[in-house]
């Protein structure tokens, strides 16, 4: 079994997939792990729509907003075994009595970030590839998957079997550059 440190260090965004199918059993195994992700007040506001229908995959991919050309996730999404649309129930996480109780609205984004990280790491552990797509027309995507009121579409995760071995990751900040002691600017390391 892969250790957490190895999974975190070696997981990469995958944008090239083989034609091999990710099975329902594999997806169930991933979601069984995801459901144990932490959330604000254990609200578990996440919902996931697995899109396998090729015509719907095409339509969801068409919602990706273009930024100076094509979205780099477009091609891999069309080749993916499935798309996982990450959604959230709103008005629950970070709320008490239906009102925001934290400084930052949309606390569900934090919860979905945790669940999405769990999903991507579990998929990687299983030899699968993922990439998180956030640049999309969320409202159009929401309609395509018939998401009811009170829920938001947050991201799309193409999933499949990687077609190439992952390369090393981009540079990261050093620990000394991001960890402070007692107050910002006072280095601990």
**Domain chopping of the chain, boundaries:** 13-164
- The DSSP secondary structure of 169-187, one letter per residue, reads PPP---HHHH-BSSSTT-B
Are 85 and 162 in contact by the 8 Å Cβ rule? The answer is: no
| Predicted local confidence at residue 99, as pLDDT | 82
pTM confidence score = 0.91
The mean pLDDT value of the chain amounts to 91
Q: Which of 95, 98, 131, 102 is nearest to 116 (CA)?
A: 131
Q: Which one is predicted more confidently, 166 or 171?
A: 171
| Predicted local confidence at residue 11, as pLDDT | 75
Give the tens place of pLDDT for each residue, 23-67: 999 999 999 999 999 999 999 999 999 999 999 999 999 999 766
Give the tens place of pLDDT for each residue, 83-113: 999 999 999 998 887 788 888 878 999 999 9
Q: Which CATH architecture has domain 13-164?
A: 3-Layer(aba) Sandwich (3.40)
| Predicted local confidence at residue 67, as pLDDT | 62
């Amino acid at each position: 079994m892969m250790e957490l440190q190895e999974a975190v260090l070696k997981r990469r965004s995958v944008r090239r997939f083989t034609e091999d199918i990710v099975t329902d059993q594999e997806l169930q195994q991933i979601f069984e792990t995801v459901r144990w992700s932490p959330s604000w007040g254990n609200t578990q506001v996440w919902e996931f729509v697995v899109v396998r229908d090729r015509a719907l995959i095409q339509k969801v991919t068409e919602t990706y907003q273009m930024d100076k050309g094509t979205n780099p996730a477009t091609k891999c999404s069309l080749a993916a075994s499935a798309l996982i649309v990450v959604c959230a129930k709103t008005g629950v996480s970070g709320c008490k009595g239906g009102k925001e109780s934290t400084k930052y609205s949309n606390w569900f984004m934090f919860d979905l970030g945790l669940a999405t990280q769990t999903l991507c790491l579990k998929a990687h552990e299983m030899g699968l590839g993922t990439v998180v797509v956030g640049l999309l027309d969320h409202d159009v995507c929401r309609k395509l998957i018939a998401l009811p009121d009170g829920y938001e579409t947050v991201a799309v995760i193409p999933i499949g079997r990687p077609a190439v071995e992952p390369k090393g990751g981009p540079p990261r900040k050093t620990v000394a550059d991001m960890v402070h002691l007692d107050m910002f600017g006072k280095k601990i390391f």
